[in-house]
């Protein structure tokens, strides 16, 4: 299945324990956002849950494009391995479904949203709250990161059209 020319952007914050998803229309309307939390268990089972959830999202609302944060190697190598595994599974499903993928460094996302590449999560959340229409209800950190990545992509695409 290939993504339609509907302008929808799927933002994904990959993680083995929690993966955030956000579906963005335009550059400021969040149609849906959620976090899939996988319980403790075998990594293969958790990755299967992520791929099944993503396939469901893609069949319900096929996006034109998807955006993910590039892998950030922090101090916790075990955590980075889980994120890398989740990213690999997500990238495979997106490729299988014909959805173009765009990746952004954490500092790029921060710069686009706040004008400061070292902004903290609270600054990003405040800026998103002021700039984006988010569905009612509590939005956790993974879903908020997915929204930020989708908004970063929408704005980066818009800027490349203006300057390109």
Domain boundaries, the chain: 9-163
Write down the architecture of domain 9-163 according to CATH: 2-Layer Sandwich (3.30)
pLDDT at 144: 93
Sorted by sequence, the CB contacts under 8 Å of residue 147 that are 6+ apart come out as: 11, 20, 22, 24, 30, 33, 128, 132, 134, 139
Question: What is the Cα Rg of the chain in Å?
Answer: 15
Tokens 């599974």 sit on residue: 89
**Along the chain (164 residues), what's the average pLDDT of each consecutive run of 10 residues?**
67 96 92 93 95 96 94 74 94 97 94 91 88 84 95 82 48
């Amino acid at each position: 299945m290939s993504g339609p020319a509907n302008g929808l952007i799927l933002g994904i914050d990959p993680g083995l324990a929690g993966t955030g998803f956000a579906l963005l229309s335009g550059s400021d309307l969040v149609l849906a956002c959620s976090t899939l939390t996988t319980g403790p268990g075998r990594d293969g089972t958790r990755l299967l849950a992520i791929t099944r959830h993503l396939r469901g999202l893609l069949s319900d609302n096929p996006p034109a494009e998807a955006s993910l944060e590039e892998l950030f190697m922090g101090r916790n190598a075990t955590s980075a391995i889980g994120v890398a595994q989740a990213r690999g599974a997500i990238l495979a499903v997106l490729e299988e479904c014909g959805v173009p993928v765009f990746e952004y460094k954490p500092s790029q996302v921060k710069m686009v949203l706040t004008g400061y590449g070292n902004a903290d999560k609270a600054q990003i959340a405040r800026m998103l709250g002021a700039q984006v229409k988010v569905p009612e209800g509590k939005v956790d950190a993974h879903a908020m990161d997915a929204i930020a990545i989708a908004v970063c992509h929408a704005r980066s695409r818009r800027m490349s059209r203006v300057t390109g």
